[in-house]
Structure 1
C-alpha cells in the first residue's frame, strides 16, 4: 500500500559522537539532458554506497543554488551514517517551475539517473526544499505522488491539487519569516490535513524535543490520515527565513527531516534502522575528528583549476593521492571549517605528516568565505619527508573574532601521496618576553611605512601578532593593540622594512 508507515519508525535517529565505519566522499557535480536542456546538480553519495538505499532530493530557494543549499543543510554526516544518496539540483535561473512540467521532468530524470548509477531504491525517494524549493516539493507531491514516498518542505508552501495519493508531509517554518508568511503557510498546510482526512485532533509537543528545556521549536502532529500517513508541522519560534541548524536553541532541520521521511516507503517495506549519526558541532574552538579514526567526517577535500586528487580516511589516517597539480598550492585543499577563533587569543596547531616522496606542505588559517583572508602573518610551509613527524606552529588571532574560520592544508605543489594524522588546534598562553638572544639580524629603519601591516615579535624572535601602522606612531599603535612595556621588533610583510620599537607606559 502506498505510503505505509513501518514499525521501525519509532526508532529515533540519535546523535552520537562516535564515528561510523564509513569513508566520506566529496559531492560530485553532474549534468543531465532533460528535454533538450542541460541541467546540473551536485550529488553526494557515501563511499561504497550499497544498492537499494534511499534518495533525498533537496532543492534550493529562489536566487540560490545547489552549493548554497548543500552548505546550509549539511547532509553529509547523516547520509554517511544512514547510507543514502543526496542530490542538490540547480533550478534554471535559480528558480523552480512550481506549476508546469519542466522541473517535474528534471526530478524524474534525477531519480532514473541515481537508479542507474547507484541502484537507489525507487520506493524510498524523498523530496525536500527550502523556500521556493519547498513550494516545488508541494508541486511534486501533487503531480508525482506515485513516485515520491514523502516530502519535507522548509519555509515554502503549496495547496493540494488532486494529488495521486495521500502524502506524508514534514513542514518546517519559522514564526518570524518575513519572506514566506508563517501563518498563511500553516493555513495552507491544514488544507492538506483536511484533504487527506487526517484527525482534527492534533498532538502538540512544546518544547520540542520535550527533553530540551527552553527549545524554541514545537511540533504538531496530525495522524489518522488516509493510507496511514502523518502530517507534521515543526515550528521554530523567532526564526526568520533561514534553514535552521541551531541545535543549541532548537533543532537540526536535516536530522528532523530524515527522522520523519525514513519511516515511509511506497511499498510499505521496512528500512534497516541506521546506526547513530555523526554530528559535527559548529562554532568550535578545536579540531573535530583530527585523528581520522574511521571516517573523514568534518573534513572537505576541495579541488580547483586543473588539479586532480582523491582522499579518504584509511587505517586511522587521512591519505591523499594527488595525480595532477594546479598553479597554486590551494588548488588541492583539505580543509576543516566552523572553527571559532577569538580575537587576541593565542593558538597552537600541530599535526603528523608523511609523504611518498619529500615535498613541501603549505598550511593556512583563514576565512571560510570570500575573500578567504589569512589570519597568519605568513602562511606556514613545512618540509615533509617519507617518515611521519609531528609539525606545529603558534599564532595569535589579531583579526575580529570569527566563528566560521578554517584550517587549510594546501597540497597543490606536488603530485604523489600525502598522509595526515593527529590534527590538533588548542589555545595556548602568549609567549613570554625573556630578553634579546644573540643572533637576531634585521635591516633596521627609523620609521615604519604608513598604512602597512607588520608582524610583531619579541626580542627572542617569538611572533606575538600583527599591527597596522596608519594614523599613529609605532609605539602608540602597539599600545592601542594592548602590548605591554618593552622593546618589539616590527617586521614588514611582503618585503617591507623592519624596525625596533620601544614601548613605555
Structure 2
C-alpha cells in the first residue's frame, strides 16, 4: 500500500532567516476550465530542481493573509525554494472532493513549467482548514507530495497511496479546532503507518530555550522510515505561531522537517532516527548526558529562572534567579519504575561554580508529588566534582511513573551534573535511626567529633556522647542530609541528619 524511498546528501538546517529580494506576484491558472488565483514567491534567479511548498490559508481567509502570517519569503531566499499561496474558492477548501486536489496538481505542473521545480520535493502545508486540506491531499495525491505540515487543522486516514511524513503543529488552547481531537487524528496516522508506540518527547522545545511554551513528540520506526511529529504550543489559541521569543517560528520548524523528505530519495538526508526513551524503566536514561538532554526536563516555578543543556557530556544548569523553595528550579527525570519494598541506590557526580547545597528527592510525578524518601536530602556541593550517593527503600505502592528530582533553587550560579544512576540494591546491613556505619564506631561517653560534608569539606567540631551526636551535628550543619563524622580515634561514621 505504501511506497517511499530514503535520501542521501546533506542540506544545512535552517534556524534563522534573512529577508532577501525575490519575485512575489499574484497570478491565475486554468483548472478544468475555471480560473484559479494564487500568490507566488520565488527567489531571483532560482536554480532548477529546487523544492516547492504550497501553503494554504484558513477558512474565511485568503492567500494574502496566509502569506503575511507565515512569512516564508526569508526561508525561500535562504533555502532556494518556491512558495505558492493559493486562494480557495469562497475562502474555503474542498476537503472531501477533487476540486482543490486538481488545483494543487495544476499548481505543481505550473511551477514545473515556470521554474523546473523538483517534482520529487513538493510539500503541502496549511493553517486551520488549510491544514485539513493538507491531510486530504495526503490521502488523495500522496504519490505527488513528499511530506505534509498541517497547522491547527486535522484530517483522518483514508487509504493513502504511501506512508506520509507528517509535522503537525497545534496550540492547546485552540477554541476552533480542538487540540485533543487533533491529537487523536495524529495518532490515527501513527497507527496506520505502523510507527513505534514509544514516542520521543522533548520538553521544552527546543531544549536550549528553557522558557519555551512548545514541546515536540516524535513517532519513528514508521512504514518506509517516515516520521510523524506533533509540535504542541502550550496556551496557544487558533493562531499561526511566529513568536520565537516564547515558542517557535512555525514556518522554520516546518521547513526544517519537510526538507528531509523526497519521493525518490535523491536529495537529502532523512532525520536522524529519534531516540526513543522507554517508559516504566527501572534505571536512569541518558544519565551521562551523551545524547544531549534527552529524557531530562528542566522545570521552573515561581520566581526561579535558569537555563540548562547537555554540554561536553555533562549537564550544565545556569541559575540566574531563585524562588522561595528549592523545587522552583528543578531538573527531573520521570517514567521510573519504583517497586514496593525494593531498596535503591542513587548516585551522581556534581560540582558548582561556588559552594552550595543541592536538594535531591524521589517522588510522584503527579499531584500531590509525594516523596518516597523519609526526607528530602540536601548535599553540600563544592567546586570540584565529587560523587554523591543516597539509598532508600520504596515503602509506598509500586509507581510506574516515579521521578528523580534535582531541586536546585537554593542558590544562583552554575551547577554541573553527570553520571546519574539508579540501581536496585539489597537492604543495607546496618541502617538504624539515621545512622549508616561504614566503619565501626567504638566511642563511649562524651567525645570530640569532626564533621565533614559528603564531599570532604570540614564543617566544624562537636562534643557529644553517642546518643546526643545527631542533635549536636544538626545544630552545627543546619541542613538535613548525609554527613561524615570522624571520632578522635580515627573511626568514621556516616550520619543522616534529619
Residue deviations 1:108-136 (CA, integer Å, cap 9, x gap): 00000000000000000000000000000
* Alignment of structure 1 residues 114-129 onto 2, 5 Å: 114-129=111-126
Q: TM-score, normalised by structure 2?
A: 0.52
Q: Aligned residue for 2:14?
A: 13
Q: Distance in 1 between matches of 2:269 and 2:185?
A: 34
Q: Evaluate the alpha carbon distance shift between residue 141 and residue 185 of structure 1 in structure 2; reply closer, same or farther with a 3 A threshold.
A: same
Q: Distance in 2 between matches of 1:88 and 1:11?
A: 25
Q: Evaluate the alpha carbon distance shift between residue 172 and residue 8 of structure 1 in structure 2; reply closer, same or farther with a 3 A threshold.
A: farther
The partner residue of 1:38 within 30, 35, 38 is 35
3-state DSSP of counterpart to 1:32: strand
The partner residue of 1:260 within 257, 260, 263 is 257
The partner residue of 1:65 within 62, 66, 88 is 62
* Alignment of structure 1 residues 84-95 onto 2, 5 Å: 84-95=81-92
Q: Aligned residue for 1:152?
A: 149
Does 2:208 match 1:200?
Answer: no
Q: Aligned residue for 1:228?
A: 225
Q: Aligned residue for 1:56?
A: 53
Q: Distance in 1 between matches of 2:11 and 2:33?
A: 44
Q: Which has the larger radius of gyration?
A: 2
Q: Aligned residue for 1:489?
A: none
Q: Distance in 1 between matches of 2:202 and 2:136?
A: 28
CA contact (8 A) 2:173 2:234 kept: yes
* Alignment of structure 1 residues 478-493 onto 2, 5 Å: none
CA contact (8 A) 1:56 1:84 kept: yes
List structure 1 segments (4+ residues) > 6 angstroms apart after TM superposition. Answer: none
3-state DSSP of counterpart to 2:142: coil
The partner residue of 2:235 within 225, 234, 238 is 238
CA contact (8 A) 1:2 1:267 kept: no
Deviation at 1:92, TM superposition (A): 0.1
CA contact (8 A) 1:62 1:132 kept: yes
Q: Distance in 1 between matches of 2:89 and 2:136?
A: 16
CA contact (8 A) 2:11 2:268 kept: no
Deviation at 1:2, TM superposition (A): 4.5
The partner residue of 2:215 within 191, 202, 218 is 218
* Alignment of structure 1 residues 253-402 onto 2, 5 Å: 253-271=250-268
CA contact (8 A) 1:166 1:196 kept: yes
- RCO higher in structure (CA 8 A, sep ≥6): 1
Deviation at 1:86, TM superposition (A): 0.1
Residue deviations 1:44-78 (CA, integer Å, cap 9, x gap): 00000100000000000000000000000000000
Q: Aligned residue for 2:438?
A: none
Q: Aligned residue for 1:250?
A: 247
Task: Give the alignment's Cα RMSD to 1 decimal.
Answer: 1.8
Q: TM-score, normalised by structure 1?
A: 0.52
Q: Distance in 2 between matches of 1:7 and 1:193?
A: 25
Q: Distance in 1 between matches of 2:79 and 2:11?
A: 16
CA contact (8 A) 1:176 1:237 kept: yes
Q: Distance in 2 between matches of 1:10 and 1:50?
A: 16
3-state DSSP of counterpart to 2:167: strand
Deviation at 1:222, TM superposition (A): 0.2
3-state DSSP of counterpart to 2:180: helix
CA contact (8 A) 2:260 2:269 kept: no
- Structure 1: which 5+ runs fail to align? 274-505
- Structure 2: which 5+ runs fail to align? 271-498
Deviation at 1:7, TM superposition (A): 5.1
